Structure 1
Amino acid sequence: MASPFASKLGTNYCPSAEEMVEIETLLVEPELRLKRLDEAIIEMQKALDKLTQERDTLGAYVHAHNALISPARRLPLDIIQEIFTACLPTHRNCVMSASEAPVLLGRICSAWREISLSTPRLWASLHLAVPQIDPWIETWSKEYTSDTSEQRLEVTRTWLHRSGQCPLSISMHSPDLAGVNTPQTSAFLQALIPFASRWQRIQFNIPASFTEILGQVAASDVPMLQSFTLYQGPRSQPHDLSWDFFGMTQARNISITGDNFVFSELPLRWSQLTTLSTVSPEGLAINTRISTETVLQTISRCPQLQSFSFEHAGGSELGTQISSSIIEHPLLEKLHCVGTDLTAVIHDVLRRLVLPGLKDFTLLWIENPNSMAVQDVSPLLCFLARSLHLKCLHMETEQFSTLHLQEILRSLPPTLQRLRITAPWVYDIHGTSTDSFNDDVLAVLTPTPGLATPCPDLKVLQMDQCITISYAAILQFITARIATLKRIRVDFAKEIELDKRPSLRLFIESGLDVSVTHTVSPELRFSPWDGLPDAPPPPSWGSAQQSLL
């Protein structure tokens, strides 16, 4: 609309008395028009609200009837049960949490809850994390832990009763905390024993003083048992346990750590064993170190053995009289070696092993102030050269020089697809890192035109506790391997002033699974996922707890 005051609008101009009268006269008609428009809008809004209400009512009617004929309602019960079963984790047991199956399935609707509760297979696996009582925490926290224990104990009984007659897979995590046994451990073990006749895969991580409770279980009590794992914490008091009557040692897959038995004298079904381990999930044994001869004798007396994990007790000095007989085992596919003296492991054990079917090999070192760095890696190179089907390798680098690491990587068979390198760092008297795993070592795995590339089919690389590896070397490796590389994990044991992870975005967008982390202080965990490798961050002590079932 044209106005004689257009040039004055939006300015600080102050009209005169005559101009004010003129402006008031000018606005009479527009103000009337504005009032009529507001009234029209109100009427149209009323009409729109009425139409919206009618649409919502009609839409609710249509949606409710469409729901009656939805394909999901017509799925047969057995199909729904199969879908529910497919929701369960496959790499571990189920946890007591409403954030995942099977508990989550019962919270969708009443029909799904009824189906989930009447499907025993959904409740046939359970990870049981016993709440820990720290002697240094406040009284209110102890009361909170006690209440949580009572709740989990009741849920445990309910959970297992829902499993019907299905074979059970159970893992129980209740290690020592601050050297003090958790009193609830006994109650949880006693709750599990009545279901022993259906135990199929069992794993206990408990203080050694509670192991005798499991002595109540005879071989006839566990007819379904296939796998038995027992990680025992240090004994708080001396006690004897009669392993001859320990029924669970008759399983074909055995993993035992502790200091209350002689490994070679365990009443195992040696000729039928397929899996045998004296190493805990943390990669260490607890006073279950075995000698060179025991390692070799064990492999010889277990013709069906497919997986063997052990911690070496150390060996004699080079040059002493040690049997030089060669042990060949065609079925052994996984070998996990941990030792305080890698020279002894390499020269006394690996030198004498021929494992043509080996696919997964681990070589870790336990810190020992008396242990010297490996001076001769030729037996290890020969062992790797004999492993023509090796696909996975995990090794610690601290006991090897940079030159030796380069030799080892060059000797890896072309079949290798997964490589994990743990590089625990040490410092000299000047505070300078002496980590031998550096850019020169990674360069061996980085393809160079005109040169043969070790491990041409490498798909996964994981590097732990890196301190001397640079981002530039990592980017160069990824760029050269991007055609075949599927996943790379890098953990830096130091803080990086400038975060260069955005430079990896291009590779991520091309489909590469990349993870770059920096070491942080560990957090105290207190959750149903305790003891599992994929445990999420724990809730705070004061967070509200949801009903488990």
Structure 2
Amino acid sequence: MPPEQHNLPLSNKSGPVFVLPFEIISEIFLHCLPDNHTIPDTSQPPLLLGRICSMWRDVALATPKLWASLSIHCTDTADVRLADLWLSRARGYPLRIEVDDHEGEESPNREILLETICRYSAQWQEVTLSVPLDALSRLRLEGPLPRLERLVIGSEASVSPIQLVTAFSDAPLLREVHLSLDDVGSVQPRSIVLPWAQLTSFTGHLLSAEECLYVLREASSLTECNLYHFIDGHPGFTMSLPLVLPLITKLRLEGSVEQNLVDVLQYLTLPALEFLELRTAPPSTENPATNPLLLGTLITFLPRSSCPLLEFRLITSRTLHTVLFQCLSAMPTLKVLDITWFSTSHHVHNTILQQLHTPSALLPHLQSLSVHYTTPPVLPYDDELIAMLFSRSNRNDTAGAARLERFSLSWNGFHLPYPDAQTLDRFKALLGRGMQIHLGPLDAPWI
């Protein structure tokens, strides 16, 4: 710590706080900061701290970490002008910067702000640049990014096709990337030069299935991959060879068109996968609930990968129970099952419950079961459900089955009849056995 920091005039004020050592006051100030990025606001720390008295202002200015986080919107001219002074106060401290500009149109403020933060690029540790990618293609950095660990870039704003974004190519510590492409497909991941092979976590928005597979092929060290809001790619796209990714343990796929998810999953082999989440859109006139293409693909994916899956989350309107049963049968190591239905059908609900009644028959290691309906279901609790829960509430050491520790049955809305006293007593008896239970509307459960 620089010597001048210890010579601040702390003893010439009255009151206990003014006789505290500089280090203590500085630490207290740091705990006043928000958990996320700091927004320039005179009513919030750190600017507020400098308005209390001259001594507090001296402490704030002598604490670089107070200024090492900045969140700023390009439309705020005053904040854009403040950015250089703010970041200079961080001195050489690693920086967390967030720039938000979803307008998509050229802006003098945007260019000024990007030029300003680029002067501090050697200090970047976590950077979010929610700006059109064509603006990022014009970034001019003064050298490599030796401290950059996490990068979030792009926005949904439409842009003109770009040649290359090369500003982030030399970042030896970069491990996590979030990439949002434009919503018309004018930019592709191939245009973003990144150290793909060293990444361990990737989140993509508005990529086609073909683009997702490109990223997965290049980022061979990934352990976590999240792919959201697919867009349609080239019709008839195929791959000649499957992708084997031995390090991925977490995968999330979400798309409004089920076929897009299928086009990714059918080519993947993930032998280390422990967490899988699949989400499709609710049914509509254009996207009716038909045979579950995605679950059908999952049936072949699971034995091909032979993965030790521990947690499976499914959000879908496809309710063909025979296919779902086949999928669950291929998950013998599963401990957590979480299903959200866009359907009120009770048929699948009952069919799966019947299979779960015998722990050794299906999902023998299941410890947590959650079922959620987006609309109030028909007859959500009955004797079949309660019998299954009692059967699963005791550990069966002989069969090697685990004890169900948590059960949740919830829905949106409050239009379902309250359970009768006998049903409620039976659920309470399960509580007495140590099972954690959520029963009823999502925001106001009865148990």
TM surpasses 0.5:
yes
- Find the counterpart in structure 1 of residue 247 from structure 2: 331
From 224, 232, 240, the counterpart of 2:155: 232
- SS for the counterpart of 1:440 is helix
Q: Which one of the candidate residues 247, 252, 258 is aligned to 2:167? A: 247
8 Å CA contact 1:414, 1:454 repeated in 2 = yes
Matches within 5 A, 1:24-63: none
1:295 and 1:349 map into 2 onto residues whose CA distance is: 7
C-alpha contact 2:258 2:294 (8 A) present in aligned 1: no
Cα pair 1:313 1:339 within 8 Å, conserved: no
Letter in 1 for 2:89: R
1:455 & 1:128 partners in 2: Cα distance? 51
Equivalent residue in structure 2 for 1:305, among 203, 207, 222 = 222
Report SS of the residue matched to 1:362.
Answer: strand
Q: Structure 1 residues 378 and 214 mapped into 2: Cα distance closer, same or farther (>3 Å)?
A: closer
3-state DSSP of counterpart to 1:200: strand
Change (3 A) 1:215 1:118: same
The residue that corresponds to 2:98 in the other structure is 171
Whether 1:443 aligns to 2:382 is no
Match of 2:143 in 1: 220
Letter of the structure 2 residue corresponding to residue 303 of structure 1: S
Instruction: State the one-letter code of the partner of 1:233.
Output: E
Mapping of residues 509-548 of structure 1, within 5 Å: 516-517=441-442
Equivalent AA in structure 2 for residue 270 of structure 1? W
Q: CA offsets per residue over residues 32-78 of structure 1, 9 Å max, x none?
A: xxxxxxxxxxxxxxxxxxxxxxxxxxxxxxxxxxx85xxx9998655
Q: Give the counterpart letter for 1:381 in structure 2.
A: I
| Paired amino acid for 1:254 | V
Larger radius of gyration: 1
1:128-207 matched pairs, under 5 angstroms: 128=72, 149-150=76-77, 152-153=79-80, 156-157=83-84, 159-176=86-103, 188-189=113-114, 191-206=116-131
SS at match of 1:443: helix
Q: Are 1:405 and 1:437, in contact at CA under 8 Å, matched by a contact in 2? A: no
Q: Confirm or deny: 8 A CA contact 1:312 1:337 kept in the other structure.
A: no
Q: Secondary structure at the match of 2:216?
A: helix
Could you tell me which amino acid in structure 1 is paired with residue 350 of structure 2? D
In structure 1, the gaps of 5 or more residues are 1-66, 132-148, 280-284, 426-432, 520-549
Label 1:250 to 1:358 Cα distance change in 2 as closer, same or farther (>3 A).
Answer: farther
Among residues 251, 273, 279, which one is paired with 1:364 in the alignment? Answer: 279
Instruction: Give the partner amino acid of 1:302.
Output: A
| Aligned-partner Cα distance in 2 for 1:460–1:450 | 13
Relative distance call for 1:388 and 1:156 in structure 2 (3 A) is same
Task: Say if 1:196 and 1:222, in contact at 8 Å, map to a contact too.
Answer: yes
1:393 aligned onto 2:312: yes
Verify the 8 A CA contact 1:125 1:169 in the aligned structure 2: yes
2:415 is aligned to 496
Change (3 A) 1:196 1:114: same
1:181 deviation in Å? 8.5
Contact 2:199 2:222 (8 Å CA) reproduced: yes
- State the alpha-carbon separation in 2 of the partners of residues 462 and 78 from structure 1: 51
Residue 384 and residue 270 in structure 1: after superposition, are their counterparts in 2 closer, same or farther (change >3 A)? same
Counterparts in 2 of 1:125 and 1:422: CA distance versus 1, 3 Å: farther
Check whether the contact 1:388–1:415 (CA below 8 A) recurs between aligned residues.
no
For 1:116 and 1:169, locate their aligned partners in 2 and report how far apart those are by CA, in whole Å.
18
* Match of residue 195 from structure 2: 269
Which residue of 300, 307, 331 corresponds with 1:412?
Answer: 331
- 2-side partners of 1:497 and 1:453: how far apart? 30
Paired residue secondary structure (1:394): strand
> How far, CA to CA, are the matches of 1:96 and 1:441 in structure 2?
56
- Look up the match of 1:531: none
CA distance in 2, matches of 1:81, 1:485: 45
Offset, 1:353 = 2.4
Aligned equivalent of 2:377: 468
The structure with the largest helix share of the pair is 1
Report the counterpart of residue 125 of structure 1 in structure 2: 69
Displacement of 1:313 in angstroms is 3.9
Contact 1:328 1:354 (8 Å CA) reproduced: yes
Scaled by the length of structure 1, the TM-score of the pair is: 0.56
Distance 1:392 1:211, change over 3 A: farther
Pairs within 5 Å for 1:419-438 = 419-424=337-342
- Which residue number corresponds to residue 269 of structure 2? 354
- Please state whether the residue corresponding to 1:175 is helix, strand or coil: coil
Q: Which residues of structure 2 form unaligned runs of 5+?
A: 1-14, 395-402
Distance 1:161 1:400, change over 3 A: farther
Residues 438 and 468 of structure 1 are in contact (CA less than 8 Å); yes or no, is this contact kept in structure 2? no
| Aligned residues of 2:122 and 2:144 also touching (Cα < 8 A) | yes
Instruction: Give the letter for the 1:338 counterpart.
Output: E
In 1, distance between residues paired with 2:442 and 2:221? Answer: 40
Q: Determine helix, strand or coil for the equivalent of 2:253.
A: strand
Contact 2:319 / 2:348 at 8 angstroms: preserved in 1?
no
Contact 1:495 1:518 in 2 (8 A): no
Matched residue SS, 2:120? helix
The equivalent of 2:400 in structure 1 is none
**Superposition deviation, residue 160 in structure 1:** 3.0
Instruction: Give the number of the structure with larger relative contact order, counting CA–CA contacts within 8 Å between residues 6 or more apart.
Output: 1
Write the distance in 2 (CA, Å) between the matches of 1:455 and 1:183.
61
Change (3 A) 1:354 1:423: same
Aligned residues: 399
Equivalent-residue separation in structure 1 for 2:95 and 2:30 (angstroms): 15
C-alpha distance in 2, partners of 1:113/1:475?
63
Q: Distance in 2 between matches of 1:437 and 1:121?
A: 57
TM-score scaled by length of structure 2? 0.66
Render the CA deviation track for 1:6-36: whole Å, top value 9, x for unaligned: xxxxxxxxxxxxxxxxxxxxxxxxxxxxxxx
TM-superposed CA distance for 1:247, in Å, is 0.4
Q: CA deviation at 1:152?
A: 4.4
Given that residues 343 and 374 in structure 1 are in contact (C-alpha distance below 8 angstroms), is that contact kept between their aligned partners in structure 2? Answer: no
Q: Using a 3 Å threshold, how does the CA distance of structure 1 residues 403 and 155 change in structure 2: closer, same or farther?
A: farther
Corresponding residue of 1:541: none
SS at match of 1:197: helix
Amino acid across the alignment from 1:255: H
- The 3 A distance-change label for structure 1 pair 218 and 475 is farther
Name the counterpart of 1:52: none
Residue 126 of structure 2: SS of its match in structure 1?
strand
